[in-house]
């Protein structure tokens, strides 16, 4: 399965429309979690809360995560690497449920591993829904970021190539040569131009970088429009917070 990397990396949830009855809604928190392999137990927890007026049937699973140069995300089943308990829930209105996710994969991977925890509402009629049998409902699907992190990891982002187009702006090929993911959310972009001219910009002020997540070993093409850089760059580097 593949999805576009964009809103899915920022808000990290999707929903689809299904023809079932009732009014249901649930939340998943947090939307990003780390399983620290230096801890005594390689596990983390999520919490589901039903804020709707009807019970919700929810299924949870873990998938792999790979993002190509264009920002398209690919996912495959990773159930053999995790224990998720409970993995299926009937969540009553106003009730919260803790979900435990435990890593049962390699004890000491060479780099951080990236996954998605998917919490998906199932089109199952429960209670009053089953009796009424009509209506329209949004079936929610959350996709939280989940990282399995061994000790001693760190990101290392470098600019592999820089190409300029008089009309389109600047295209950067970035690569994370480190062992931990790097999210472009806070930090600085140092732009160097002709004759050593240099200016430092905030990543937060540059829409071209918003939502970029460089996983270990991954590359990403980023097109920066002309109006986002103060002058034509000869070199670009980053400092992350």
| CATH code for the domain of 85 | 2.60.40.10
Q: Where in the sequence is the domain holding 104, given as residue range(s)? A: 26-124+137-149
Cis peptide before 205 (omega within 30 of 0): no
Per-residue pLDDT, averaged over 185-199, amounts to 96
Q: What is residue 136's predicted lDDT score, i.e. its pLDDT?
A: 52
pLDDT(73) > 70: yes
Number of structural domains found in the chain: 2
- Lay out the sheet containing 235-240: strands in order across: 198-202, 187-192, 235-240
pLDDT(191) > 90: yes
Q: 84 and 142 share a domain?
A: yes
Per-residue pLDDT, averaged over 132-153, amounts to 83
Report the chain's mean pLDDT, rounded to a whole number: 89
Convert the pLDDT of each residue in 94-140 to its tens digit.
999 999 999 999 999 999 999 999 999 998 766 555 555 545 556 89
Q: What is residue 20's predicted lDDT score, i.e. its pLDDT?
A: 37
Q: 210 and 231 share a domain?
A: yes
């Amino acid at each position: 399965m593949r999805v576009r990397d964009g809103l899915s990396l920022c808000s990290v949830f999707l929903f689809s429309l299904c023809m079932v009855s009732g009014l249901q809604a649930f939340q998943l928190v947090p939307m990003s979690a780390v399983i620290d392999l230096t801890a005594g137990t390689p596990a983390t927890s999520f919490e589901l809360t039903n804020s709707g007026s009807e019970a919700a049937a929810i299924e949870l699973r873990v998938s792999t995560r790979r993002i190509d140069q264009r920002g398209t995300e690919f996912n495959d089943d990773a159930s053999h690497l995790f224990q998720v308990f409970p993995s299926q829930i009937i969540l009553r209105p106003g009730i919260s449920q803790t979900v435990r996710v435990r890593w049962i994969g390699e004890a000491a991977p060479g780099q951080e591993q990236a996954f998605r925890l998917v919490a998906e509402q199932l089109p199952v009629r429960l209670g009053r829904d089953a009796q009424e049998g009509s209506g329209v409902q949004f079936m929610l699907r959350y996709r939280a970021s989940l990282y399995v992190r061994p000790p001693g990891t760190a990101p290392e982002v470098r600019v592999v190539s820089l190409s300029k187009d008089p009309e389109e702006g600047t295209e950067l090929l970035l690569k994370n040569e480190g062992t931990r993911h790097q999210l472009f959310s806070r930090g600085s972009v140092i732009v160097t131009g002709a004759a050593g001219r240099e200016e430092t910009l905030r990543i937060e002020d540059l829409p071209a970088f918003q939502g970029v997540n460089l996983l270990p070993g991954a590359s990403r093409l980023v097109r920066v429009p002309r109006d986002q850089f103060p002058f034509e760059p000869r070199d670009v580097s980053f400092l992350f917070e």
